[in-house]
Amino acid sequence: MIEQLTDFPDTVVAIRLSGEITRTDYQDVFMPAVDAALKTHDKAALYYETAPGFTGYSLGAMGEDAVLGFRHYFRFSRVAIVSDVGWLRNAVAAFHPLFPCPVRLYHPGEAAAAKRWIETGQM
């Protein structure tokens, strides 16, 4: 499930991930939020937070994530990921050089710092 977080500026698409993320989650929640932010701004920042019980992505969700990334490749200003899920942190660490914007990993106890960085670019 993807839940959109609302306590962020409209230049930030902020979501919390729980359970297994599906293609429908991307199509119904995340992609419309990204499209809405990019209709009014040249770039948007992305904030991801995993909830306890987050188990991963379905194959369909991975495909939607790739489509979203390619479609808006240069339109993201920065990405913050707040998670203690080992495989996710390892994947982000391995692939972040492919992103055209800064990407930072935070542990759940650092969520306030992640939010500050995603909103302002300051630590």
Q: How many helices (H) and strands (E) does the chain have?
A: 5, 7
CB 113 within 8 A of CB 81: no
The tens digit of pLDDT for each residue in 12-45 reads 999 999 999 999 999 999 999 999 999 999 999 9
Indicate if the pLDDT at residue 3 is higher than 90: yes
Do β-strands 44-50 and 76-82 pair in parallel, antiparallel, or remain unpaired? parallel
Do β-strands 20-21 and 56-57 pair in parallel, antiparallel, or remain unpaired? parallel
CB 37 within 8 A of CB 56: no
